[in-house]
Structure 1
Amino acid sequence: MDSILALMNDPAAWVALATLMVMEVVLGIDNLIFISILTNKLPEHQRERARKIGIGLALIMRLGLLATVAWIVQLTQPVVTILGNELSWKDIILIVGGLFLVWKATKEIHHHVDPTDHEDTMVGTATSTFGGVIAQILVLDLVFSIDSIITAVGMTPHIEIMVVAVVTAVTVMLLAANPLANFIEKNPTIVMLALSFLLLIGTTLIAEGFGVYVPKGYVYAAMAFSATVEALNMWARNARLRKQNRK
């Protein structure tokens, strides 16, 4: 209790909390895009429950990892050398998760643009099983959770601050999940843009796994620019539709 009161009276702790909360929310965007697209594949009455379960699992996984911070730190120690690159368990998890994202996004883009191929799609018709969707969400939750916690450990040594930041980020994800998923479903062009974001995120994870650090600011700036261009396209399209309807 005394340590918590000391942190509350420490301006540096408040700055660290605010910074970490922003970082955790931004990192949660990747996780949320994947969950939103994937759950839209389910029958409508199952989608909201799947999103809540997926985000709940993300919270449980992050808090569980925070309880084993000493073990998490050890994940950054090299365990194997591949092609001259020393890889830790964190690197291996990021590479596997990145490959999974690239494979999944590429597969779904193919299905989305090929009208003759609609088997096992992430978007479009609701053909996925509930358990299959949750299993895929769980895989990516693990990847994003480890990345999130290692980022938190690098920014502050205080577990209390990490817990508050993680709970805040997951709460924001929970509140944004349904509006984001509904928006993606109602705008087919957004689906393709979101899948391209997953490709970008997956490639970034692979690069970081091999020791090539890509500043997150560049990645999110590119995503924000693409989203802005698409927003302008949607605005222009809606303006044309309104003009046609007035004729």
Structure 2
Amino acid sequence: MDYLLQLAADPTAWAALVTLVAMEVVLGIDNLLFISILTNKLPEHMRSKARRIGISLALIMRLGLLSTVAFIVQLTEPVIELFDHPFSWRDFILIAGGLFLVWKATKEIHHTMQPHEEAEASAGQVMTIGYTSAIVQILLLDIVFSIDSIVTAVGMTDHIPIMVVAVVIAVLTMLLAANPLGNFIGRNPSIVMLALGFLLLIGTTLIAEGFGAHVPKGYIYTAMAFSAAVEALNMVQRKRSGPTH
């Protein structure tokens, strides 16, 4: 208790908390985009539940990983050297997650452009198989994003309580934003393609980082913000022009 009171009275701890919350929220955008696009493939009455489950899994996983910080730090230690380049378990996880994101985004772009080629299925099959598949895929990406999130947190502060509070605030923010973002993406087809492009960019970045090529996150999110701003202007222009026939 004395330790927590000392942290609460330390301005440096508050500064670290604010910085870490902002960083965790920004990193959570990647996870939230994937969850929104994936759950929009489900029947409408199941989307909100799937989003809550996916984000709740992310919270549980991140809090669980925080209890094994020593183990997470060890994941950054080299375990094998290939082509004169050392690889850690974190590198392999990032590469696998990046490949999965690139594959998933490419597949969704294909389905968006060629919807008539999707296999026909009964309503019951879509609800059961699609829902289970969505939760499994969300869980797999949660692992990648959670490890990246915890490694980032460890690099910014040594205080576990600050990490826990930052993670909880960031995930609760994701929970509040999930339905509005998912509904907005679902109402605007052009936003779907833009979000899928973001996922391709994020996946490529994860692969690059896994191979040791560090890409500053600021560049990535600046590019994403610029693209989103351009699309927002396009949406305003289309709205003013009125419906076309």
TM-score over 0.5 for the pair: yes
Secondary structure in structure 1 of the residue aligned to 2:212 = coil
Q: What's the counterpart of residue 172 of structure 2?
A: 171
Q: What's the counterpart of residue 89 of structure 1?
A: 89
- In the alignment, the residues of structure 1 paired with residue 44 and residue 106 of structure 2 have an alpha-carbon distance, to the nearest angstrom, of 24
Secondary structure in structure 2 of the residue aligned to 1:129 = helix
For residues 83-103 of structure 1, the C-alpha deviation after alignment (integer angstroms, 9 at most, x for no partner) is: 222110000000000000001
Q: What's the counterpart of residue 207 of structure 1?
A: 208
- The 5-angstrom pairing of residues 77-156 of structure 1 reads 77-119=77-119, 129-156=130-157
Deviation at 1:13, TM superposition (A): 0.5
Q: What's the counterpart of residue 52 of structure 1?
A: 52
- In the alignment, the residues of structure 1 paired with residue 85 and residue 51 of structure 2 have an alpha-carbon distance, to the nearest angstrom, of 37
Report whether the alignment pairs 1:21 with 2:21.
Answer: yes
- In the alignment, the residues of structure 1 paired with residue 62 and residue 211 of structure 2 have an alpha-carbon distance, to the nearest angstrom, of 24
Identity %: 69
Give the letter aligned to residue 19 of structure 2: T
Deviation at 1:116, TM superposition (A): 3.5
Secondary structure in structure 2 of the residue aligned to 1:15 = helix
- In the alignment, the residues of structure 2 paired with residue 140 and residue 115 of structure 1 have an alpha-carbon distance, to the nearest angstrom, of 25
- In the alignment, the residues of structure 1 paired with residue 119 and residue 161 of structure 2 have an alpha-carbon distance, to the nearest angstrom, of 46
- In the alignment, the residues of structure 2 paired with residue 119 and residue 54 of structure 1 have an alpha-carbon distance, to the nearest angstrom, of 26
Give the letter aligned to residue 136 of structure 2: A
Q: What's the counterpart of residue 241 of structure 2?
A: 240
Deviation at 1:114, TM superposition (A): 2.1
Secondary structure in structure 2 of the residue aligned to 1:20 = helix
- In the alignment, the residues of structure 2 paired with residue 60 and residue 83 of structure 1 have an alpha-carbon distance, to the nearest angstrom, of 37
- In the alignment, the residues of structure 2 paired with residue 237 and residue 180 of structure 1 have an alpha-carbon distance, to the nearest angstrom, of 20
For residues 160-203 of structure 1, the C-alpha deviation after alignment (integer angstroms, 9 at most, x for no partner) is: 00000000000000000000000000000000000000000000
Give the letter aligned to residue 21 of structure 2: M
Q: What's the counterpart of residue 64 of structure 1?
A: 64
Deviation at 1:149, TM superposition (A): 0.2
Deviation at 1:108, TM superposition (A): 1.1
Q: Which stretch of the first structure deviates more once superposed, 150-159 or 72-81? A: 72-81
Q: What's the counterpart of residue 184 of structure 2?
A: 183
Secondary structure in structure 1 of the residue aligned to 2:79 = strand
Q: What's the counterpart of residue 198 of structure 1?
A: 199
The list of structure 1 runs, each at least 4 consecutive aligned residues, that deviate by more than 3 angstroms after superposition, is: none
For residues 57-79 of structure 1, the C-alpha deviation after alignment (integer angstroms, 9 at most, x for no partner) is: 00000000000000000000111
Aligned pair count reads 239
- In the alignment, the residues of structure 2 paired with residue 131 and residue 40 of structure 1 have an alpha-carbon distance, to the nearest angstrom, of 14
Q: Identify unmatched segments of 5+ residues in structure 2.
A: 121-125
Q: Identify unmatched segments of 5+ residues in structure 1.
A: 121-125
Secondary structure in structure 1 of the residue aligned to 2:42 = coil
- In the alignment, the residues of structure 2 paired with residue 44 and residue 113 of structure 1 have an alpha-carbon distance, to the nearest angstrom, of 21
Q: What's the counterpart of residue 225 of structure 1?
A: 226
Deviation at 1:215, TM superposition (A): 0.3
Deviation at 1:115, TM superposition (A): 4.2
Give the letter aligned to residue 161 of structure 1: I
- In the alignment, the residues of structure 1 paired with residue 213 and residue 12 of structure 2 have an alpha-carbon distance, to the nearest angstrom, of 31
- In the alignment, the residues of structure 1 paired with residue 110 and residue 119 of structure 2 have an alpha-carbon distance, to the nearest angstrom, of 11
Give the letter aligned to residue 29 of structure 2: I
Q: What's the counterpart of residue 75 of structure 2?
A: 75
Secondary structure in structure 2 of the residue aligned to 1:211 = coil
Secondary structure in structure 2 of the residue aligned to 1:59 = helix
Secondary structure in structure 1 of the residue aligned to 2:117 = coil
Give the letter aligned to residue 166 of structure 2: A
| Superposed CA RMSD | 1.5
